[in-house]
Structure 1
Amino acid sequence: METGSSVSKGVFAYKGKKKSVNPEKYFPRTETVNTWKRRLETYQSLWENVDTEIQILQSNLNTKIFDDLLKFTKTCHTDFTLSSQTGNPRTKEVPTAALVTGVNTPDHGVMFATLVNLLQERVSPLVAILQSKDCNNVKNTLSKLLGQILKNPQLFIEDEESPEVSQKNLPISLATLADWYDDKYSLNHSSPKKRKSTGGGGVDSQPLPPVIMVFEDLESFQPRVLQEFITICSNYLGQLPIVFVFGIATSVSAVHRLLPNSVSSTLCMEKFQAPPSTEYLTLLINQILMSKCCPFKLGSRVFKLLLDIFLYHDFSVLNFIKGLQFSMMDHFMSNPMSHLCCPLEDISNQTKRLSNNELELIRQLPSFMRYVKYMWRVALLPRQAELLTDDTELKIEVLKLLTRIHTFREEFYPMLRCLHTLVSKLPKQPLGKQLREVYATVLGWNIEENEDYKTSLDLLKFMSKDELTGLLRECASCLGDDLPSNQKDIPTSIASLLDRFDTLHELVESEEEEQVPESSPVIKKTDLHSLKKRLQEMEKKKKKLSPYEKLRSECIDYFDSLFRKYLVSPKTLPLYELLYYDSASKVRSHLAASPRSAVQLALGNSHTYLHNQLESDNLGTISPDIPDLCIVYKLHLECSQLINLYDWLQAFITVKTSNEEENDDQTKNPDKILQARFIRAVSELQFLGFVKPTKRKTDHVARLTWGGC
């Protein structure tokens, strides 16, 4: 809503940039064990490793995306030569790369920043990136273009003797850029740099660098500005080797919606499809979350929450990474024993440094208490007493349990990929189609307790021979050679099953030869009970399994035993809390917060933010010491749909002057300063969306929300 339609004019202050905060201040110092330094060091080390892996993953993914695009921009003007003519008849269309990026808007900034860097390094230093927010008219677009190209320091490295070009003294037009380009590269054009050709002893001239214009958000540009700018650029193709790169979030048809046929005909477009953000997320989960690079892992609830935010809100992998980083920070800040969440080679040193108070905290962990209680059930009372009383034995047991969790992960992920291979192509995909869906399911509970898992096994028992053998080969390939020692024999067992499927026809032929034809049943007069019994016996004979069905059941049972053994939920492991973070409520409150409820809570209970003890002691009344906006908000909660501004003002003045004498006189003749403060508070309340002006009564405002805080 514009300020002019508000109850009053608004004044907003800009306080400058935020100062950097020392992360050490966020770790609590009043805890019984002073482990915050070790936790901070462990967190910084782990996140540095994770961030490095993410950067490598992004670099590899961007290289695959941009290789073809860089080749296109590099070769589309290889035969361009400078000419004194105003137009070149050989170039009538502007080479345009239509880069379809997808709808994950928060990730586009990083993608295009990487693209610009690659273009400047490998293709041309003359690259400008244009955004719709800076290009509301043609003049601003040209100014942005010239400012980025003429101020590039790489342009003046070879021309050290000539003075720098000052943009302020030059007209804002493409003619300025064409003259500058001709002056800079005319020397190379008249006496080109010599280099050996690839064919032998000949020489060849170095091609002139193209002028690349990257439109980051093409759909957000105003059509009129875009049409005029493209038309101007097409008229300078004889003087400038112009190349367009269109960033398109939806589809290439958006270009035709923005540009008429007369303008789009001046473009020679080639489509480049970036992989969807879901593919990037799959790579991130497979190579970061399901790998040995980081001992910290997400619990089932937090993992599902981050997936839901990604799939149903923003499709942003960057926001998913921020959620991962926040989860790791909160884990190390809130858990006093989280410094044990370290690589396997550092666990021994960390456990040796545990103090008595730290060991007591370990004994109080719910998972460890269940573990000790289980010892009582299996009659291991001496060992139970040692763990509860002897610190040295507890350190040995902690080292053993943490090592077991790391070993469990090495055995967990190969079996998870094997399960995904078997169930991803089933009808209706009971466990999900993507690996991340199967992973989220297994994180929550044991696989044997899942009804979808049982349904998947039932569907596997109806598969044909060709389909089942194909899945077995895929399982053998996805397991690979780098398996833990306990799983080395699994590929051999799968190969043995495949051999038995290949020789199955011999068993079928031998069984057919041995099969004796059954005699036709003699129909006798009998009672209902005897008939029912006879029919049941005949049905059992008919249900005799074939050799393939027997082998298929044996194969499914073998995989079922593997999954039940290795795909155990991490929640069942002792000391699970030290390496897994599963506080979904904190992540939701910070990453998927509700602005309306937060604003209402702040306005209704301002003492929780301002630490006002007087207000907290008198919650039943409205204190005059709280901010004006909070007073106006609480008063408007007592009104109906329409609020009389005069009555609202009188109530506001009554509250503000409740501690002063001559209250009645001030209410009848209110101070102008109080009136101004009231109007400003009502305007702020309107800006927040709680009230709005109404035409039903000129001296009233309409209330837009209902209920208290």
Structure 2
Amino acid sequence: MQHKPYNTNKPTKLKVIQHKPTNNNNPTQLKADYFKACEHPVSGDFRQSTCDLTWEEIDQEIQILRSDLNSKIFDDLLAFTSSCHEKFSLDHDQDHKDSFVTEIPTAALVTGVNTPDHGVMFSTLVELLHERVSPLVAILRSKDCNKVKNVLTKTLGQLLQNPDMFTDEEEDSIANTKNLPCTLSTLSAWYNTKYKLPHSPTKKRKSVTISEHQRYPPIVIVFEDLESWVPQILQDFITICSNYIHHLPIVFVFGIATSVAAVHRLLPNTVSSLLCMEKFQAPPSTEYLTLVINQIIMTSKFPFKLGSKVFQLLLDIFLYHDFSVLNFIKGLQFCILDHFFSFPCSRILCHHEDLHQTIKDLKHHDIESVRMAPSFMRYVENSQPKQQIDLLENDDYTKNIIEKFMSQINKYHELFFPVLRCLHCLVSKLPKHPLGKQLREVYSMTLGSFICETEQYKDAIELLKMMSKDELTDLMKASIQELGQDLHDDLQDIPQDLERFLQRFDTLHEIPEEEEENDSKEESTLHLEKTDLHNLRKKLMEAGKKSKKLSPYEKLRLEIVDYYDNVFRKYMSCPKSFPLHEVFYYDSAADVKRQLNSSPRSAVQTALATPHHYLQCKCCDMEPGIISSTMPDLCIVYKLHLECTQLINLFDWLQAFVTVVTTGEEEEEGKKKAVDKVLQARFIRAVSELQFLGFIKPTKRKTDHVARLTWGGC
């Protein structure tokens, strides 16, 4: 097999793996180290603190939204789990026969297909169950339960090893629980011993007292991903639990991503008849996303905003990939971090009340970075020559202009978002929805261009001019309500003007309709005179062009629509038209797509062909096509396999690998054999990793060969 010339410098054993990079290339650097590596460390520190503060405020608001959204479904679940075994008793005599439950109470929680969000939801649910219902809660995942024995081990492990359940003398027996058989008989005996007889009043309990929980706390078992379970294992476990329902107050919580029909697909009638199910529907992820967008992004409360391309990209990833609001929030967090890290002008991004002090503290290099902003450069180019000199050389004058522009955009946000909601209220129910059904669709259009000049907006205005009286009045009342009470001073007159328009509807019947003036001469000429087809067509077109006399309602409707149109044109300018809009709006869609929606194969091939791209170590920084002994073994094996045909001879491959990682110097015979064994082990491991990544596979055509599966290098 032919090779390219290899580097024969003597390497140290596992040099790349043991190589300790310098501080500048340390892959484990903290976020603060990256910000300090900026052009000016002081500015980097300030941008990092502003970045952390911005995300902290947004994340806190998101946590409140999530809690409010899931509060009702969690309250219903907690009430169900705490009430389904109210009459349970460990005394199995005739007086307590009515306490026997023949079916396992089961809550079927339909969570939706946004599986990345389920982990957060179930962890919150388990925490609430621990706090309000029972200390005996276990959560099971299909990946950990491939056998019934594993299911029982996970269940008892979580129930018996809970430190909140043990008294002082019971803590000494925790170590002995590992020797107990993992069966429900063990759990039943433990539960009977713990809860049947009251504890001595002289001994204090570390666990939750009986007064805080019911006499017999239920045993809640949560199945996070029911559809992923092996049906036979799930059936066996449910059957086992049903045999102990008279001895243990067991409650199931099924996490279902699709529908309740999934339970009947997994369980036959003989098993499903052992369950008493009640359905609980979690709020859809689209509702959660709408809350996040409306109250986090489309608000003047937070100065950071997403640009049109990035906003649409994050929406597309949500709608067409995973339906995960958690991933959307992670994308938003990345946008904030990248904005403050890569854009020096982000130093002046702050709340309006802190703006004056922030601008005052700007240094010369900070002002120079603002002057390099594209929108600011366009403003300078369009200014007078004298003002251009001041903008480029006078720092104090430039500070005043920067503060003026920043205040202008802050005021724009306060005026823009209430008017945006008013526009959406008017157009959301129009036929064919020219501006979309959702508020986020209208917002996305306003980010890209001046919406009042688009064809969709003009179509919406034309449809509003054809509305009936009842429809128009309902939309006007809804728009007044949407504007709210806490409006900017510049918007205070809009609700009052709309109220006056509504009052004029009540007096329409008092206005007499104007009679149409009929030109009798023209009609007689049109009908009586003999004319040819061409002249007749011309006269008919002229008659059609004549303005029709409008009724009082039509005049008022036209006046109202024109009023709305003037308001929208005044307050809904495109944010790109403002100087320094880049400070507020992050629109690097290419960077976001590369990080959040990248191609796995391209990333793997880049890492194998050019390890320096990710490791950032000097020993791997070399021209493409060169194979160095300092590279990781996997990269060396990958580059060598690119030179081969469909079938690769393992012996030749090994010899080429040894040639790369060893030197031409003669070594002692015994030492050489020891090195050969190490090299063979390294080669076998690298080949196995390459097979795991899907680049090669074993073949039966030749026993000492492997087949190549991919073609074309990086």
Q: Distance in 2 between matches of 1:601 and 1:687?
A: 17
- Whichever residue aligns with residue 208 of structure 1, its letter is Y
Check if 1:358 corresponds to 2:366: yes
Correspondent of 2:116 among 97, 106, 117: 106
Q: Distance in 2 between matches of 1:161 and 1:678?
A: 53
CA contact (8 A) 1:227 1:259 kept: yes
- Whichever residue aligns with residue 66 of structure 1, its letter is F
**How do residues 428-577 of structure 1 correspond to structure 2 at under 5 angstroms?**
428-507=432-511, 510-511=512-513, 521-541=526-546, 543-577=548-582
Correspondent of 1:688 among 666, 684, 693: 693
Q: Distance in 1 between matches of 2:368 and 2:200?
A: 82
> Deviation at 1:642?
4.1
Correspondent of 2:426 among 415, 418, 422: 422
Q: What TM-score does the superposition give when structure 2 sets the normalisation length?
A: 0.85
CA contact (8 A) 1:138 1:229 kept: yes
- Whichever residue aligns with residue 690 of structure 1, its letter is F
**How do residues 228-377 of structure 1 correspond to structure 2 at under 5 angstroms?**
228-376=236-384
Correspondent of 1:180 among 182, 190, 206: 190
Task: Report which stretch shifted further, 340-349 or 301-310.
Answer: 301-310
> Deviation at 1:97?
0.7
> Deviation at 1:607?
4.7
The answer for unaligned runs of 5 or more in structure 1 is 1-12, 192-202, 663-669
Residues 618 and 35 of structure 1, relative CA distance in 2, 3 Å threshold: closer
Paired residue for 1:76? 84
Q: What TM-score does the superposition give when structure 1 sets the normalisation length?
A: 0.86
Task: Report which stretch shifted further, 646-655 or 233-242.
Answer: 646-655
1:633-684 superposed Cα distances (whole Å, 9 cap, x missing partner): 334334444445555556556666796799xxxxxxx967666555444333
2:259 is paired with a residue whose SS is: coil
Paired residue for 1:410? 414
> Deviation at 1:394?
1.5
Q: Distance in 2 between matches of 1:265 and 1:476?
A: 54
- Whichever residue aligns with residue 497 of structure 1, its letter is F
> Deviation at 1:462?
3.4
Residues 217 and 610 of structure 1, relative CA distance in 2, 3 Å threshold: closer
Correspondent of 1:124 among 126, 130, 134: 134
> Deviation at 1:534?
1.4
Q: Distance in 2 between matches of 1:334 and 1:621?
A: 32
1:304-352 superposed Cα distances (whole Å, 9 cap, x missing partner): 1111121122211111111111111111112223221111111111111
> Deviation at 1:586?
1.6
CA contact (8 A) 1:217 1:247 kept: yes
CA contact (8 A) 1:50 1:293 kept: no
CA contact (8 A) 1:103 1:250 kept: yes
Correspondent of 2:180 among 170, 176, 181: 170
Q: Distance in 2 between matches of 1:450 and 1:704?
A: 50
CA contact (8 A) 1:49 1:293 kept: no
- Whichever residue aligns with residue 391 of structure 2, its letter is L
Quote the RMSD (CA, aligned, Å). Answer: 3.2
Check if 1:707 corresponds to 2:712: yes
Q: Distance in 1 between matches of 2:369 and 2:248?
A: 71
1:250 is paired with a residue whose SS is: coil
Q: Distance in 2 between matches of 1:91 and 1:336?
A: 67
1:65-114 superposed Cα distances (whole Å, 9 cap, x missing partner): 21111111122122222223699574111111100001111111111111
Residues 397 and 189 of structure 1, relative CA distance in 2, 3 Å threshold: same
1:395-426 superposed Cα distances (whole Å, 9 cap, x missing partner): 11211111111111111111111122122222
CA contact (8 A) 2:106 2:275 kept: yes
Q: Distance in 1 between matches of 2:632 and 2:136?
A: 54
Residues 32 and 227 of structure 1, relative CA distance in 2, 3 Å threshold: closer
Q: Distance in 2 between matches of 1:211 and 1:682?
A: 49
**How do residues 372-387 of structure 1 correspond to structure 2 at under 5 angstroms?**
372-376=380-384, 381-387=385-391
Check if 1:136 corresponds to 2:146: yes
CA contact (8 A) 1:129 1:213 kept: yes
Q: Distance in 2 between matches of 1:671 and 1:21?
A: 36
**How do residues 608-619 of structure 1 correspond to structure 2 at under 5 angstroms?**
608-609=613-614, 619=624
> Deviation at 1:42?
1.4
Check if 1:593 corresponds to 2:603: no
> Deviation at 1:464?
3.0
1:79 is paired with a residue whose SS is: coil
Q: Distance in 1 between matches of 2:579 and 2:362?
A: 17
Residues 618 and 399 of structure 1, relative CA distance in 2, 3 Å threshold: closer
> Deviation at 1:685?
2.4
2:112 is paired with a residue whose SS is: coil
Task: Report which stretch shifted further, 643-652 or 73-82.
Answer: 643-652
1:181-220 superposed Cα distances (whole Å, 9 cap, x missing partner): 22222235999xxxxxxxxxxx9x9553211111111111
Paired residue for 2:7? none
> Deviation at 1:366?
1.0
- Whichever residue aligns with residue 318 of structure 2, its letter is F
- Whichever residue aligns with residue 432 of structure 2, its letter is K
Correspondent of 2:398 among 372, 387, 394: 394
- Whichever residue aligns with residue 511 of structure 1, its letter is E
Residues 455 and 400 of structure 1, relative CA distance in 2, 3 Å threshold: same
1:141-197 superposed Cα distances (whole Å, 9 cap, x missing partner): 22222222222233235x768964542243322222222222222235999xxxxxx
Aligned length: 667
Identity score, percent: 61
1:236 is paired with a residue whose SS is: coil
Check if 1:636 corresponds to 2:646: no
Check if 1:56 corresponds to 2:70: no
- Whichever residue aligns with residue 143 of structure 2, its letter is K
Task: Report which stretch shifted further, 441-450 or 79-88.
Answer: 79-88
CA contact (8 A) 1:185 1:208 kept: yes
Q: Distance in 2 between matches of 1:619 and 1:234?
A: 65
Paired residue for 1:199? none
1:108 is paired with a residue whose SS is: helix
1:238 is paired with a residue whose SS is: coil
Q: Distance in 2 between matches of 1:695 and 1:544?
A: 89
1:95 is paired with a residue whose SS is: strand
Residues 98 and 189 of structure 1, relative CA distance in 2, 3 Å threshold: farther
1:576-619 superposed Cα distances (whole Å, 9 cap, x missing partner): 12222111122222212212112222222345456677876654
- Whichever residue aligns with residue 114 of structure 1, its letter is T
CA contact (8 A) 1:156 1:164 kept: no
- Whichever residue aligns with residue 434 of structure 1, its letter is Q
Residues 47 and 516 of structure 1, relative CA distance in 2, 3 Å threshold: same
> Deviation at 1:268?
0.9
- Whichever residue aligns with residue 61 of structure 1, its letter is L
- Whichever residue aligns with residue 136 of structure 2, its letter is L
Residues 27 and 83 of structure 1, relative CA distance in 2, 3 Å threshold: same
Check if 1:43 corresponds to 2:47: no
Q: Distance in 2 between matches of 1:344 and 1:370?
A: 24
CA contact (8 A) 1:80 1:207 kept: no
1:212 is paired with a residue whose SS is: strand
Q: Distance in 2 between matches of 1:616 and 1:333?
A: 25
- Whichever residue aligns with residue 278 of structure 2, its letter is E
2:236 is paired with a residue whose SS is: helix
Q: Distance in 1 between matches of 2:554 and 2:85?
A: 65
Paired residue for 1:3? none
